[in-house]
Amino acid sequence: MWDMAVGDDPYPLIAWRSQFARLRNDLDDALQAEDRVAPHTRTPMQREYLTRSFDEFWNDVDNLFLVAETNAVKARTLIGPLETRTASLSNAVARFLVENNQAEEQAAAQIEEVYAGVERQVYLFLAATLIAIIVTISLLIRSNRQVFRRMEELSQQRSELAQKVITTQESTLQFISRELHDEFGQILTAVGALLGRAERHAPKDSEWSKDLREVRDIAQSTLENVRSLSQALHPVTLDEAGVESAIEWYLPTIERQHGISIHFEKSGHSREISSRVGIHIYRILQEALNNVVRHSQSKSADVRLSFDAQGLVLEVADHGKGVNVESARRGIGMVAMRERAELIGGDIRWLGADGGGTRVRLEVPEEKLV
């Protein structure tokens, strides 16, 4: 419009119509785009004012070009008011731009506040999750401690019960052994003496004398069997001479009874072993040799008793088919052997023997022997 009013171009005013048409199209497109992204704070009255102002501006422009078709001089006089309206539109647009900037700043502040709120929520969630994890772990630790404490108590009770059961068993066996040895042994000895005296008064080579001799032999055989049973239940040698003597007495007995060959080897200096510990060592040896007889299918076994600075070591090895240690551990015999080893503070293991078979190794510390 400034070029139209004061320019030196030789173009008539009507020649500027096409440029204004392009500007109008561009401004219409820009206004439509701006209206779609305008802030929600803009009122309908403001939208109507902006639209009406542009419509009036373009009406004045159309009127200017319409007058310019017939009177160019008069049309130029209309350019001044048109510039005034343009300035008014520029001010209105500037105000709207300021409002847009303010709306953008408010939106940015709101977005920042939303992000800050989300961040706080995330931190709170993480803190709550961490607290829940810590509480859960604490409860699990406490529960596990209670379970382990209960298991320890049950294990202690089991050990005490096993000790009482084994102690009661040994007391019962010892009582029965003494009763057999003392009561039945004395009775059978007296019966044998009476039968011998009666035999001496009977006529020689008579049927009565033969019958008395036969009954006396039966009584003597029964006496020997009772004494053997008494020794098997609880050897007197164990109480009188100790576990070493009891082992040396027991091995030939088991050889005679079951027809196996046992090689016994003893090394180191003997120690004093209390009868409480000795009976458990003896019973473990008994059970190990019983397993050799019943399960190994071997006709020979090795028994080693050694003393060193650490304590006592007892080994029983066979040369048979061996046993599945993992399944055999649940057997009553092996459970009893393990219980007895624990009662005297020892350690018992089932190992493979050289050349096949099974080797039972019992270790008892020095301080646990007395």
Q: Where are the domains of the chain?
A: 2-120, 235-368
pLDDT at 269 over 80: yes
pLDDT of residue 4: 67
Token pair for residue 75?
A: 């049309």
Residues 6 or more apart whose Cβ sits within 8 Å of residue 14: 65, 68, 69, 72
pLDDT category of residue 125 using cuts at 50, 70 and 90: very high
3-state secondary structure of 272: coil
Which of the two residues, 330 and 79, has the higher pLDDT score? 79
pLDDT confidence of residue 132: 93
**Side-chain half-sphere exposure of 287, counting CA atoms within 13 A:** 23
The whole-chain average pLDDT of the chain stands at: 80
Would you give the DSSP letter of residue 221?
H
CATH topology of domain 235-368: Heat Shock Protein 90 (3.30.565)
pLDDT band at 313 (very low <50, low <70, confident <90, very high): very high
pLDDT tens digits for range 220-261 = 788 777 777 776 676 777 777 788 888 888 888 888 888 888
Contact in structure between 76 and 14 (CB atoms under 8 Å): no
Which residues neighbour 121 within 8 Å (Cβ) at sequence distance 6 or greater?
none
Instruction: Using CB atoms within 10 Å of the CB of residue 369, give its burial: 0 to 12 exposed, 13 to 18 middle, 19+ buried.
Output: buried
Contact 306, 312 (CB under 8 A): yes
